[in-house]
């Protein structure tokens, strides 16, 4: 008897250490995989919100439905600016939620072998975060109700029917106000837990469900929430204009099933049966974790990665990215922006695929409806020195995002300082000084307020101010005309000049190129030479007049290569060859683009 008494605690201790080991491994594996699959989604989340250490702002958010989850999620997401922070914090929160869920179901007789199963709904939640349209608020809300499930079971499981009903109703109502629609999931789970635990009158738990549905109906009727779909489903934590896919709801489906399966497994007898249960639980949870990439939009994730590189100024990373040669307008916009920042826009313009002037900036009615494109346009116009249009786009992007954009707010500070709109810039500075990640950078901008001399002496702000035309005009109607105006007041703006020339080359504007080469001294380099692509343009519009070409900077090397180009083209014509394919050696020239690229 003594032997049996001493063995029981040892068995319990062994399982405790096994559980700790499983939790540590789960945290490490999920952290590594989240970093691999969702790294740039975490960065994007940080750029899609502003958390202000401002009491009125925080209290205002807390007063709304789901306010606690919103504030808590924004507080966490602000740290995603740091590399690995998103993956580490999410993995730790997820493992904590799984452990708390395990403690909860164990109190109702769940099998120890079902422990790995508690990671299943958590992994589904982490997978849902791969969709940037799913708010981090939903993940925080899910963790919150798991904590409250544990509190309910710990405090009220053995209480009278009346106490349990009242507790369930009060907690459900409180949760709906604190974290939103996930309170419905809490109400469903307490009914299942009470039923499987064998509690008398477990069906009275339906009162909690009824309260949640009543609150949801009232929230819709009073206009706090748009529809019942958003009021009672995971849609509450998703972009309102879009219906989420089934995978977003997987964790909500999994949680009550896991609760039921874990408790029912505890009623099974035999070690072999428990081993089978444990293996099945591990396989289910691993499958949920490893299936995350299959539910992600890989093309959109590519754009999130490039968006991060733009915000971080990692231009080499853009040019070495696997999307660098994609013929998508947004990808081309980002790539050409990177080339401009490296001073290589003209030099390497035709080293990459191009398709008309929209390869430089996708400015049309459709792009103005997409916030990510608007923000990218702001970066491009800022690089050109188009202060007004960059500011306009930054404002649209900032107010279009539900809770602001740090990068666009900092852009608004700089553009308003360049304009001399110090009162407006001061307001933005005051807001950004309330953030964790940008307060120092914003505070450093204060020295420019009402200080024209400091602004004009600064390399960045002074340059921007010099780029502002003295006469009011509409911007954005024609990017090429805007560049002409910028160059008229700041001829040494190399980035604007490169964009100006690239625009004409990609638009195949031969007359514009001819006028530029003949009339603008800045078309030539300081040593009197003409850029190679402009030499190629001269040969396009005046190949028969060798004297003219020589006078306008065409070198022997360019002449010789043009002759090779013509000879190859004629040979392929005579042999019915495919010049687009067989003349790839000339794809880095304006001639190849001019002849074979349809725009």
Residue 54 CA to residue 237 CA, distance in Å, equals: 24
Q: Please report, rounded to a whole number, the percentage of residues in the chain having pLDDT higher than 90.
A: 63
Do the beta carbons of residue 450 and residue 422 sit within 8 Å?
Answer: yes
pLDDT confidence of 63, banded at 50, 70, 90?
very high
Q: Which of 116-120, 344-348, 464-468 has the lowest mean pLDDT?
A: 116-120
Q: Do residues 554 and 517 lie in contact, with contact meaning Cβ atoms separated by under 8 Å? A: no
Residue 366 has pLDDT above 60, yes or no: no
Q: How far is CA 412 from CA 23, 50, 236, 310, 490, in A?
A: 45, 14, 31, 17, 22
Place of tokens 């508690």: 118
pLDDT, tens digit, 9 for 90 and up, residues 418-450: 999 999 999 999 999 999 999 999 999 999 999
pLDDT for res 371: 84
What is the reported pTM? 0.90
Q: Is the pLDDT of residue 4 over 90?
A: no
Cα–Cα dist 155/107, whole Å:
11
Q: What is the mean pLDDT of the chain?
A: 88
pLDDT value, residue 273: 53
Q: Return the pLDDT at 13.
A: 65
SS (H, E, C) 425-493: HHHHHHHHCCCCCCHHHHHHHHHHCCCHHHHHHCHHHHHHHHCCCCCCCCCCCCHHHHHHHHHHHCCCC
Over range 335-355, report the average pLDDT.
95
Lowest mean pLDDT among 123-127, 214-218, 311-315, 502-506: 123-127
For residue range 546-572, what is the model confidence (pLDDT) as tens digits?
A: 899 999 999 999 999 999 999 988 888
pLDDT tens-digit map of 205-259: 789 999 999 999 999 999 999 999 999 999 999 998 888 888 888 899 889 988 8
- What is the secondary structure of 15-75 as a DSSP string? HHHHHHHHHHHHHHHHHHHHHHHHHHHHHHHHTTB-----HHHHHHHHTSTTHHHHHHHHH
* pLDDT tens per residue, range 148-194: 999 999 998 778 888 888 999 999 999 999 999 999 999 999 988 88
Q: Give yes or no for residue 365 having a pLDDT over 80.
A: no
pLDDT bracket for residue 462 (50, 70, 90)? very high
Q: Which residue has the higher pLDDT, 370 or 75?
A: 75
Instruction: Give residue 199's pLDDT.
Output: 64
| pLDDT for 115 beyond 60 | yes
pLDDT at 282: 63
User: pLDDT at residue 143 above 70?
Assistant: yes
Q: How far is CA 256 from CA 210, 365, 377, in A?
A: 17, 46, 46
The terminus-to-terminus CA distance of the chain in angstroms comes to 89
Q: Which of 72-86, 123-137, 172-186, 477-491 bottoms out in mean pLDDT, i.e. has the lowest?
A: 477-491
The residue behind tokens 């204060």 is 446
Confidence of residue 286 (pLDDT cuts 50, 70, 90): low
Domain ranges of the chain: 14-296, 526-596
Give the model's confidence band at 540: pLDDT under 50 very low, under 70 low, under 90 confident, else very high: very high
pLDDT of residue 399: 83
- Residue partners of 321: CB distance under 8 A and separation at least 6: 302, 305, 306, 309
């Amino acid at each position: 008897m003594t032997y049996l008494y001493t063995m029981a605690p040892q068995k319990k201790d062994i399982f405790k250490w096994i559980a700790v080991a499983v939790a540590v491994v789960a945290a490490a594996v999920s952290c590594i995989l989240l970093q691999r699959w969702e790294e740039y989604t975490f960065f994007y989340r940080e750029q899609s919100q502003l958390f202000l250490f401002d009491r009125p702002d925080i209290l205002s958010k807390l007063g709304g439905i789901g306010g606690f989850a919103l504030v808590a999620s924004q507080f966490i997401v602000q740290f995603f600016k740091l590399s690995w922070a998103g993956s580490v914090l999410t993995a730790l929160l997820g493992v904590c939620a799984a452990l708390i869920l395990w403690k909860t179901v164990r109190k109702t007789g769940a099998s120890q072998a079902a422990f790995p199963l508690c990671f299943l709904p958590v992994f589904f939640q982490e997978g849902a975060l791969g969709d940037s349209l799913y708010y981090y608020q939903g993940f925080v809300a899910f963790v919150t109700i798991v904590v409250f499930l544990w509190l309910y079971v710990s405090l009220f499981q053995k209480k009278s029917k009346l106490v349990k009903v009242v507790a369930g109703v009060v907690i459900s109502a409180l949760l709906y106000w604190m974290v939103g629609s996930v309170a419905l999931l809490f109400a469903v789970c307490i009914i299942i837990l009470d039923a499987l635990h064998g509690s008398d009158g477990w069906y009275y738990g339906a009162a909690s469900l009824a309260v949640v549905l009543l609150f949801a109906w009232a929230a819709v009727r009073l206009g706090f929430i748009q529809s019942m779909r958003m009021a009672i489903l995971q849609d509450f934590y998703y972009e309102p204009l879009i219906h989420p896919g089934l995978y977003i709801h997987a964790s909500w489906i999994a949680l009550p099933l896991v609760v039921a399966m874990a408790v029912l497994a505890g009623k099974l007898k035999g070690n072999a049966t428990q081993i089978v249960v444990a293996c099945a639980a591990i396989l289910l949870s691993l499958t949920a974790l490893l299936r995350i990439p299959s539910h992600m939009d890989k093309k959109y994730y590519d754009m999130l990665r490039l968006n991060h590189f733009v915000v971080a100024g990692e231009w080499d990373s853009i040019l070495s990215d696997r999307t660098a040669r994609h013929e998508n307008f947004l990808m081309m916009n980002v790539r050409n922006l990177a080339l401009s920042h490296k001073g290589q826009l003209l030099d390497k313009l035709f080293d990459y695929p191009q398709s008309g002037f929209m390869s430089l900036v996708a400015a049309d009615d459709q792009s103005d409806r997409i916030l990510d494109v608007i923000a990218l346009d702001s970066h491009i116009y800022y690089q050109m020195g188009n202060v007004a249009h960059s500011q306009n786009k930054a404002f649209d992007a900032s107010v279009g995002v539900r809770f602001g954009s740090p990068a666009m707010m900092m852009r608004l500070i700089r553009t308003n300082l360049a304009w001399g709109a110090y009162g407006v810039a001061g307001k933005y500075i005051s807001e950004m000084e309330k953030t964790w990640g940008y307060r120092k950078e914003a505070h450093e901008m204060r020295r420019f307020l009402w200080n024209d001399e400091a602004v004009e002496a600064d390399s960045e702000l002074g340059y921007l101010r010099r780029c502002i035309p003295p006469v009011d005009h509409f911007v954005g109607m024609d990017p090429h005309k805007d560049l002409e105006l910028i160059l008229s007041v700041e001829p040494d703006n190399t980035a604007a000049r490169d964009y100006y020339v690239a625009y004409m080359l990609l638009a195949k504007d031969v007359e514009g190129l001819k006028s530029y080469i003949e009339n603008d001294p800045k078309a030539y380099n300081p040593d009197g030479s003409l850029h190679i692509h402009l030499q190629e343009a001269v040969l396009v519009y005046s190949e028969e007049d060798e004297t003219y070409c020589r006078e306008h900077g065409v070198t022997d090397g360019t002449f010789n290569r043009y002759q090779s180009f013509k000879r190859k083209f004629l040979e392929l014509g005579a042999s019915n060859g495919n010049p687009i394919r067989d003349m790839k050696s000339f794809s880095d020239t304006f001639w190849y683009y001019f002849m074979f690229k349809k725009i």
